[in-house]
Amino acid sequence: MNEYDSARLAAVLELHGLIPAIIEKADVILVNTCSVRAKAEENAIARIKGLKRFKIENEKLKIGILGCMAKNRGESLFKDLPFIDFILAPDEYQKLPEILHPTPYFPLPAFQEFAKLTNNHSAFIAIQSGCNMRCSYCIVPYVRGREQYRESGSVLQEIEEAVAKGVSEFTLLGQTVNGYRFKGLSFAGLLRQVADTKGVERIRFMSPHPKHYTGELMEILLSEPKIAPHVHLPVQSGSNSVLKKMRRQYTRENYLSIVEALRFSNPLYGITTDIICGYPGETEEEFEETLSLLQEAQFDSAFMFAYSPREGTPAASEKEFLNEEQKKARLQKTIDLQNSITLKRAKLMIGQSEKILLEKPSRKNPSEWVGKTGNFKKVVIDIGAIPHCSPGMYIDCVIEGVKGHTLRGKLSA
C-alpha cells in the first residue's frame, strides 16, 4: 500500500514539475513510513536521522514525513527530529503540492532520467482504503481509518490507461481487498470486469481476508485463467483460541478449507501468508498449533513476525507473559520450519513449463533475467537466445532447478 501511495505521490509531483533525483541532489525528500510494528517505526526514524546531513549540504532541501507513522506519532515527531520540515498523514496528501508549490528551483522534467526510474510492466491499483476489521493487535485501522471503496469505473479507467502504456499485470490493493463492494458490485464482479479488459494479462490482488472467501469468489479464482494462481492470505496463528483473541473472525478449519480448495484445483497454487509469533498469552501448545498449521498448509513462503505491542490497540493492554527473547525463539522456530517448507515447495516446480513475466536483468549476470511465474515465484533465466529483452515481456520456460529460494529456468524449445 505504501509503495502504491509513493508511486501516486510521485506521479502527482511530476505533474507539478518535480522530477526524481538521486538523494544527494534532491531538493525534496519525502519519507513514506509504516507503523505496523515498532521495528518499522524505529527503522524509519533511523533513516530520517541519516538525512540530516543532506540539509547541511543543501539549504533549500525540504524533508517531509508521510505515511502511517506521521498519523500515529504526529507533531511529536518534531521533538525527535527537529530538522524536518513537515509531517503529512495519509489522509492529508492532497495538501502536498500546496506545501511544495510554488518552488522556483524545480527544473522541467527530463524525460530520460524519469524513464530509467519507472518500472512499467506491472501496476498496483488501490481499490479500497482503510480497514473496518479490528484485529486486536493491529494499528492499521487507527492510522488508515474506515474502509472506502473506489468507484469501479475509475478503477477500470486507470487500468485501461495503464494498458495503453504497456502494463499487462495488475495487482488490486486493499487492506481486506476481497471485501470490496461498490453499488452492488462484489469483489468477484470487479475481478470479472478487470479480466474482461483488453490488454490485461495477469491479475493479482493483495491482501484478501479469509472471512471474505465467498462461493462466487472461489468460482472466478478457479475458472479465470488471467487471475494468477497465487494468493497472499494472512493467517496470523494456527490456534483457534489465539485467533479468537486476535478477533480474526475465522477458525483454523475455515482457513484450511480455503487452502484445500485452491490446492485441489492446482497443487502448485502459490499460497503465502503472515504469521505473528508470541501473541500475549500464547501458550506453548497454542504456538505448536501454528507450527502444525504450517505443516498442513504447506505455504510457499511466509512473512513471520514476533508480536509487537502497538499503543492504543486492545492487545497492547493485555499482559505479556513472554519476554522478547522467548518471542524471538518462537519466531526462529517458525522461520526454520517455514524455510524447509519453502524449499520443498520450490523443488516441486522442477520440470514445470511456466510463463514468466520478465522484470529486470539479473545484477550479477547481464545475460540472465529475473521474472515471476504465475504462482509468484522468482525465476532467473538465461535469455541468451532472445535478442531484445525488456521488462514486461512474457516468455515460456522450463524450471530446471532451485538455487537458494530462487528457481532457475531455461527457455522452452
Q: Which residues bind ligand 5AD (CB under 6 A)?
A: 36-37, 137-138, 234, 236, 274, 276, 305, 307-308, 310
Report the alpha-carbon distance of residue 78 to residue 367 in Å, rounded.
Answer: 48
Helix 284-297 × helix 324-347 angle, to 10° = 10
Alpha helices in 50-86, H assignment, sequence order: 52-57, 68-73, 77-80
Q: Which is nearer to ligand SF4, 84 or 138 (CB)?
A: 138
Q: How many other CB atoms are there within 10 angstroms of residue 185's CB atom?
A: 15
Smallest separation (angstroms) from ligand SF4 to the CB of 218 = 20
338 binds, among ligand 5AD, ligand SF4, none (CB under 5 to 8 A by kind): none
Give the CB-nearest residue to ligand 5AD: 274
Which residues lie near ligand SF4 (CB under 6 A)?
131, 133, 135, 138, 140-141, 175-176, 209
Q: Which is nearer to ligand 5AD, 196 or 311 (CB)?
A: 311
List the grid coordinates of 338: 517455514
Smallest separation (angstroms) from ligand 5AD to the CB of 8 = 20
First to last CA, the chain: 39
Q: Which is nearer to ligand 5AD, 64 or 234 (CB)?
A: 234
Q: Which is nearer to ligand SF4, 129 or 176 (CB)?
A: 176
Q: Which is nearer to ligand SF4, 29 or 68 (CB)?
A: 68
274 binds, among ligand SF4, ligand 5AD, none (CB under 5 to 8 A by kind): ligand 5AD
Smallest separation (angstroms) from ligand SF4 to the CB of 137 = 7
Smallest separation (angstroms) from ligand 5AD to the CB of 191 = 22
- List, in sequence order, every beta strand (DSSP E) within 48-168: 62-67, 86-88, 122-126, 128-129, 148-149
Smallest separation (angstroms) from ligand 5AD to the CB of 210 = 12
209 binds, among ligand 5AD, ligand SF4, none (CB under 5 to 8 A by kind): ligand SF4
Smallest separation (angstroms) from ligand SF4 to the CB of 175 = 4
Going by C-alpha positions, the residue among 306, 333, 275 that lies closest to residue 39 is: 306
Going by C-alpha positions, the residue among 322, 253, 333 that lies closest to residue 293 is: 253
Q: Which is nearer to ligand 5AD, 182 or 299 (CB)?
A: 299
What long-range pairs does 328-333 form, CB within 8 A, spacing at least 24? 330/277, 330/278, 330/282, 330/287, 330/306, 331/277, 331/278, 331/304, 331/305, 331/306, 333/291
Report the alpha-carbon distance of residue 156 to residue 48 in Å, rounded.
Answer: 37
Q: Residue 337 class from Cβ within 10 Å (0-12 exposed, 13-18 middle, 19+ buried)?
A: middle
Smallest separation (angstroms) from ligand SF4 to the CB of 142 = 9
List the grid coordinates of 98: 500546496
Q: Which is nearer to ligand SF4, 17 or 145 (CB)?
A: 145
